[in-house]
Structure 1
């Protein structure tokens, strides 16, 4: 069993009688206390761009949410602003707890069902992580099945939820009421205007930086995230990829493939609004 410590994530706990309502009204994801899996969610700008994303777990009468450490301070600030007079407490647990990943069930774990086969999301006290792996196991596995994350693969305020397939992988609750950015997300769903989607990119030279462009048929199709073992998640324009075998990165051939869970295809062109 591989247990990987995710030092790039910061954990927050939301508690109190209004905590559930706060999360439902502000974030995209489903917040179901009886859920047996970690739920994906995002905090959006009013323009519908992702400012933070992570997984949510209901435990000990509170919600536990993790975010990329790179946006943790901004997430904390914004959620306190949205809280207003709500009876909810928001605690930064960066000193006491850690976020991890395990290939199999272990202490403090729940299934992470994004894309299927992603393993188990772990929340655990900091003192219980001695000896945990701090390498690239989690990110290598994530990149191999096409799950993009803020931090390694894209920056805040640059990407719509549809671009990373949150609409396909349970990160958006389309049945609930309004939340920040909901109008943009709903319009993209109903008009089918999502052009960019996660693509598996392999055969990448080591040392290639995140953000490097992918060319398809001589046209810029998008960019890759952080490279792990020669693989990365690319957030690419499907309509610009008519021949997946003709892709290049820095003038060198690269291989493109779609995740097993994808319901989209290369060459698709979204309608023009």
Structure 2
């Protein structure tokens, strides 16, 4: 568990997410040919992370894919929902696929203990992330106590500490690569499934070991950490990376940063002092990220 583990169950409403419904007789084949995750093996009632890529293998939108008896619900960051929906409609052509933006649906997340409510799906990316529940806006997950509702930032602190990227801050549209984000180890890519948009580049990067960078979590043990967005991660006079998503932990903060793999390998074996802005920070690599991939030969770090 992360350092942020509460002793009792907690839930939070995630107002930053939007939901798209994909249904119809060919919904499974349609998504299987588009997204990085394997939706054929996704059981009803479960969810899995995936992404829609450009033909060049860059992430357009990441999503959590929920399978239902009559199709799929895709939950994604609200700022990417319109673009994702437009692209899905473009790929649909004349196939018998029903697409709809479900404005009346909302997403809740829960963690920290107790049984998940009926209809919730375990978040498979990391045990600390608990479960996810999609329901009507204004409703709460069944059997949940209102006293358990807490700030969404508490959940994001757990996500970031677990090294799990999510949304366009971490996965910058048309720039981010799946393997540099570690999404291959989080079940968001299936290298055995058939073709999907961006599959050729993603597979080549995987099999030829062409990864140069990695998103890594860092911890700041200081309440002085107030402005982290876009801050530089530095070692002496050298800039090593840039802060992406971040969250306060009460006594400090956690953040994800994009850094060279060569620098991460070196920092794992020495005691170099890191700064985020002018505040001391340290790497906090979770077990699932180890061993780190070897950096590509072209990584001059």
Q: Do these two structures clear the TM 0.5 threshold for a shared fold by scoring above it?
A: yes
Offset at 1:16? 0.1
- Deviation at residue 140 of structure 1 after TM alignment: 1.2
Q: Which residue of 1 aligns with 2:297?
A: 271
CA-based RMSD = 2.1
- Structure 1 residues without counterparts, runs of 5 or longer: none
Q: Do 2:128 and 2:159's aligned partners in 1 also have CA atoms closer than 8 Å? A: no
Alpha-carbon distance between aligned partners in 1 of 2:167 and 2:133, rounded to the nearest angstrom: 18
2:212 is the counterpart of 1:188: no
> After the TM superposition, which segments of 4 or more aligned residues of structure 1 sit over 6 Å from their partners?
none
Aligned residues: 271
Which has the larger displacement, 230-239 or 66-75? 230-239
Aligned 1:58-73 pairs, distance under 5 A: 58-73=67-82
Matched, 1:223 2:242: yes
94, 99, 109: which is aligned to 2:107? 99
Give the superposition deviation at 1:62: 1.1
For the residues of structure 2 that align with 1:162 and 1:248, how far apart are their CA atoms? 26
For the 8 Å contact 1:191–1:271, the answer to whether it is kept is: no
Query: Does the aligned pair in 1 maintain the 2:110–2:129 contact within 8 Å?
Result: no
Deviations 1:15-46 (CA, angstroms, capped at 9, x unpaired) = 00111111011110110342663111001111
TM-score w.r.t. the length of structure 2 is: 0.83
Question: Which 10-residue stretch deviates more, 32-41 or 178-187?
Answer: 32-41
2:6 maps to: none
Which of 214, 219, 240 matches 2:263? 240
On the 8 A contact 1:193/1:270 being kept in 2, the answer is yes
What aligned pairs does 1:1-273 form with structure 2 within 5 A after superposition? 1-31=9-39, 32-34=41-43, 37-94=46-103, 96-103=104-111, 104=113, 105-129=116-140, 131=146, 132-203=149-220, 205-216=224-235, 218-229=237-248, 230-241=253-264, 242-243=266-267, 245-265=272-292, 268-272=294-298
Give me the whole-angstrom Cα distance separating, in 1, the residues matched to 2:205 and 2:235. 25
Secondary structure at 2:88 match in 1: helix
Higher CA-based Rg: 2
- Of 254-263 and 81-90, more deviation after overlay is shown by 254-263
